[in-house]
Amino acid sequence: MIGDAFVFDAVTHLYNMNSANVRAPGGSLFNNHLYGFHAALTPEGERVLTQDEFLRDWDIETIANLVFTETDTDILVAQPLPLTDFFYDGLSDWQRCAAMAKQYPSRVVTWGTVNPLEGNKALDLMELQVKEHGVKAFKFYNIRYDFGEPFPWRMDDPRVAFPVYEKARELGINLIAVHKGVPLGPQPLEGTQVYDIDQAAANFPDLNFIIFHPGLPFIEEICWQIVRFPNIYVSLAATLNFIGKAPRWFAEVLGKLLFWGGPDRIISGSEVPLWHPQWALKAFSEFQMPQDLTDGYGYPQVTPEIKRKILGENLAKLHGIDIEAKKAEIANDEFAQRRANGLATAWSSS
């Protein structure tokens, strides 16, 4: 990798893709779309899991061993999903994410999630997640379903969204993330647009907002947001995984983000177990901005310093993590020893 780069993975899901967890037809479609991403974007020479291997219940130990023994990742965010419209446990259960952070406290940070359309119930759950389970941020999804119909909500809705931001602030949480773009299953693209971020960021300047999946498809809009609002960040999760099959497209997306927002507000994310994290990390460590894009569009070259910021330093700063102290804490733990001994698990032996 890049010298002593600290890798802080912003997106690890504990997917329960077992068919028994699907509660509505949209869930099966959602799972199949995820598998399509896995199969389509995994580069040649890397292992593509079969549907049976992929559409499984991914347990805590398997994910931890995969990430920390088979990749250069130092720590991760166990990120829940609130898709209880399609899956009985939401697809990535927040309680299991919290359990992973409790099991591996030096390696795992957990975020929370709620459905803001549930009003006071959502606010009470936010309090429970923070006070009893150590949640450090919240991730939201703007499209919910009931009666077979989509019910989108907006990040700038003063009745639905603003109360959850105020509750986060009350609980000492200053980091709000949101899934944008990448409509999966029957989700309408309109509900994943990014125009609602402006007023959220403007009305809550003391909160930091992370937009996930830039370029899929709203890259121009996001660039105009990060240049105007210093509290808006972007995560390359899923976007990064185009680096193997579509490196030129990835270069254009990253170049635009760097040109407009600079390197301090971009973070990474593997989306494991959607893909094995290591091949994208390796490709990013070797990535160079094409010269014609630097000459013709003014996109900066992606230096080792910029790569270190994106891979971990920016997210560590948002979470108040001392990188050197964290490196020392995990230097000789069970995963470091397994990795040093070359023990392959999880993906390679699935």
- Domain ranges in the chain? 8-349
Higher per-residue pLDDT: 349 or 216: 216
Asked if the model's pLDDT at residue 185 lies above 90, the reply is no
Q: What does the CA dihedral 57, 153, 196, 252 come to, rounded to 10 degrees?
A: 30
Q: What is the pLDDT of residue 342?
A: 78
pLDDT, averaged across the chain: 94
Q: What is the pLDDT of residue 230?
A: 98
Note the pLDDT tens digit of each residue in 259-278.
Answer: 999 999 999 999 999 999 99
Q: What is the pLDDT of residue 246?
A: 97
Q: What is the pLDDT of residue 350?
A: 47
In CATH terms, is domain 8-349 a member of 3.20.20.140?
A: yes
Task: Say how many residues make up the chain.
Answer: 350
Higher per-residue pLDDT: 231 or 346: 231
Q: Binning pLDDT at 50, 70 and 90, where does residue 186 land?
A: confident
Note the pLDDT tens digit of each residue in 201-215.
Answer: 999 999 999 999 999
Q: Binning pLDDT at 50, 70 and 90, where does residue 184 land?
A: confident
User: 171: buried, middle or exposed (CB in 10 Å: 19+, 13-18, 0-12)?
Assistant: middle
User: 146: buried, middle or exposed (CB in 10 Å: 19+, 13-18, 0-12)?
Assistant: exposed
First-residue to last-residue Cα distance in the chain: 25
Note the pLDDT tens digit of each residue in 261-320.
Answer: 999 999 999 999 999 999 999 999 999 999 999 999 999 999 999 999 999 999 999 999
CA distance linking residue 72 with residue 282, whole number of Å: 9
Note the pLDDT tens digit of each residue in 141-153.
Answer: 998 877 667 889 9
Tokens 């609602």 -> residue:
196
CA distance linking residue 24 with residue 335, whole number of Å: 38
Asked if the model's pLDDT at residue 111 lies above 60, the reply is yes
Asked if the model's pLDDT at residue 183 lies above 90, the reply is no
Note the pLDDT tens digit of each residue in 170-179.
Answer: 999 999 999 9
Q: Binning pLDDT at 50, 70 and 90, where does residue 345 land?
A: low
- Of the candidates 7, 1, 2, the residue with the CA atom closest to the CA atom of residue 314: 7
Q: What is the pLDDT of residue 268?
A: 96
Asked if the model's pLDDT at residue 343 lies above 70, the reply is no
CA distance linking residue 64 with residue 336, whole number of Å: 12
- Mean pLDDT along residues 24-48: 94
Element containing residue 331 per DSSP (H, E): none
pTM (2 d.p.) = 0.96
274: DSSP letter = S
Q: What is the pLDDT of residue 257?
A: 98
Q: Binning pLDDT at 50, 70 and 90, where does residue 346 land?
A: low
CA distance linking residue 167 with residue 207, whole number of Å: 12
Asked if the model's pLDDT at residue 349 lies above 80, the reply is no
